[in-house]
Amino acid sequence: SKERQMKDANFPLDMEGRTFHLGSRKGEVSNRILSVGDAARAQLLSQFLKPFPNGDPVFNMVSSRGFSVTTGVVGDSDTTVSIVTTLMGLPNMDFVVREARAVVDGPMAVVRLGTCGALQPGTLGKILVPAEGCVLVHRNPDAFIDSEGEGLSPYLISRPVLPHPTLCDNLVSELQNTLPAGLDGLRCGINCTTDSFYSSQGRTSNAFDDRNENLVQQVMEEIPNAVSFEMETFQLLHLASCSKGTIAAAACAIGLAERANNEFMSPKQLVEMEEAAGKAAIDALVGFDLSKTEL
């Protein structure tokens, strides 16, 4: 609750050792984390987690900020996985990765399963995997200052950051096993993480000065193998690459809407893909050798 007494303003913890936003403490989060955007997806995929061998039930908590952590054992193994509801956007992924890192001992593996806008024709409903990397597409506020912004680009595109190659390979081969269409059900390429669902994904608006009418075209010209627009993966892969070799990360996302033709998946198709891709992501985490997080 908001009344929690905190200590250490540099990295706040409460009196029980719980982090400020994710709200978990040591012993509650596995070294293997599946990060998903919303609570319904976390709930759906918790079917793959079983009680602990000592009889303890699957652990579940929701923080006052709305993040959730569900930790249990996978299949007949004694390997644990935590499913974390990461909510949306770069800062929330930052909270999850940093605050999970603070309460987990030893190396970690994190896989994100999200939804995304599908950028390539014919990829609606496919799983889009940033095996070739992930860029950040973000608004450049300086370009919007009337007197000084002239000549500046209103959107900036970072250089790509890569997933952990072995973890990403694990994910692709597990997806091949679980997706109804096998390899045809996925497409690898570059993911574009954006700092807005609207402006920096090229959705136009009369209500704001967004200067984004040509943004999707610009992204596709600069990054011909761009497959997806979503909002968290860059932060995950970037932080993993800055984790001094302690975090391996990879990601995939379901092509929920195809941008070029404006088509959406049906809710039923979405749940089927969430289940299949979620199973694959959990199996990829379980099969990953944690001693190999260093690149």
Q: How many CB atoms neighbour CB 248 within 10 A?
A: 28
* Beta carbon of residue 145, minimum distance to ligand R1P (angstroms, whole number): 28
For ligand R1P, give the closer residue by CB, 38 or 94: 38
By CB under 6 A, name the one of 28, 210, 230, 283 that touches ligand R1P. Answer: 230
- Taking the complex as a whole, how short is the minimal distance between the CB of residue 273 and ligand R1P, in angstroms? 12
Q: For ligand R1P, which residue of 61, 197, 198, 257 counts as binding (CB under 6 A)?
A: 197
Task: For residue 218, give Cα distances in angstroms to 17, 22, 201, 205, 224.
Answer: 47, 37, 11, 18, 10
In terms of C-beta distances under 8 Å and separation of at least 24 residues, what long-range contacts does 257-266 make, across chains too?
Answer: 257/117, 257/118, 257/124, 258/117, 258/118, 258/121, 258/123, 258/124, 259/117, 259/118, 259/119, 259/202, 259/216, 259/229, 260/119, 260/121, 261/121, 261/124, 263/124, 264/124, 265/124, 265/125
Closest to ligand R1P by CB, 36 vs 171, is 36
Phi, psi of 80 (to 5 degrees): -100, 155
Nearer to ligand R1P, 240 or 273 (CB): 273
Q: Figure out which of the listed residues 4, 13, 38, 269 binds ligand R1P, where binding follows CB under 6 A.
A: 38
Determine the Cα–Cα distance for residues 38 and 33; give it in Å rounded to an integer.
15
Q: Which is nearer to ligand R1P, 38 or 132 (CB)?
A: 38
Give the interface segment with ligand R1P, choosing from 34-42, 123-131, 150-158, 168-176 (CB under 6 A). 34-42
Q: Which is nearer to ligand R1P, 11 or 264 (CB)?
A: 264
- Per-residue interface string for the shown chain with ligand R1P, residues 54-93, x marking contact by CB under 6 A: ----------------------------------x-----
Stretch that binds ligand R1P, among 6-14, 121-129, 228-236, 287-295 (CB under 6 A): 228-236
Return d(Cα 285, Cα 271) in angstroms, integer.
Answer: 21
Q: Lay out the site mask for ligand R1P across 125-164 (x = CB under 6 A, - = otherwise).
A: ----------------------------------------
**In the block, residue with structure tokens 């609606």:** 124
Q: Which is nearer to ligand R1P, 29 or 265 (CB)?
A: 265
Binding residue for ligand R1P, selected from 174, 232, 274, 283, defined by CB under 6 A: 232
In the complex, what is the shortest distance from the CB of residue 35 to ligand R1P, in angstroms, rounded to a whole number? 8
| Closest CB to ligand R1P among residues 143, 270 | 270
Q: CA 189, CA 220: separation in Å to the nearest integer?
A: 12
Q: How far apart are CA 94 and CA 20, in angstroms?
A: 13
Among 115, 170, 191, 293, binds ligand R1P (CB under 6 A): 115
CB of 38 to ligand R1P, least distance (A): 6
Q: Given the structure tokens 């900036």, which residue do they identify?
A: 156
Q: For residue 197, give every residue at least 6 positions away whose Cβ sits within 8 Å of its Cβ, in sequence order, or none.
A: 88, 203, 231
CB 273 within 8 A of CB 152: no
Residue 162 DSSP class: P
Q: Which stretch binds ligand R1P (CB under 6 A): 22-30, 69-77, 198-206, 229-237?
A: 229-237
CA dist., res. 33 & res. 129, Å (int): 17
Nearest CA-CA partner of 225 in 287, 132, 98: 132
Q: Which residues bind ligand R1P (CB under 6 A)?
A: 36-38, 88, 114-115, 197, 230-232
